Amino acid sequence: MRFDEAAATWDESPARQERARALAGELIPIIQNNNLKTGLDFGAATGLLSVYLMGRLEQITLVDVSEGMIREAERKI
């Protein structure tokens, strides 16, 4: 798969959306219970998970090897 080319439609996948929601649901209590302020979304793709965590952390750093994915993330966040 060419991730740069897939970036524009990456978030349209219901499975990816549900996976991000489920993971955020697991992470939010950890963030709150430990008073965490920063996060690292490694392999962030378009930042779908980070969108769910915005407002829960003061700073989120997104990292991905695909420039196309990072461009999409920057557009959203």
- How many structural domains does the chain have? 1
> Which residues have a Cβ under 8 Å from the Cβ of 20 and sit 6 or more positions away?
48, 49, 51, 52
pTM (2 d.p.): 0.90
For residue 7, what are the domain limits? 3-76
How does pLDDT run along the chain (77 residues), one tens digit per residue? 799 999 999 999 999 999 999 999 999 999 999 999 999 999 999 999 999 999 999 999 999 999 999 999 999 88
The maximal CA–CA distance of the chain, rounded, in angstroms, is 38
CATH code where residue 30 lies? 3.40.50.150
Nearest-CA neighbor of 3 among 47, 68, 48? 68
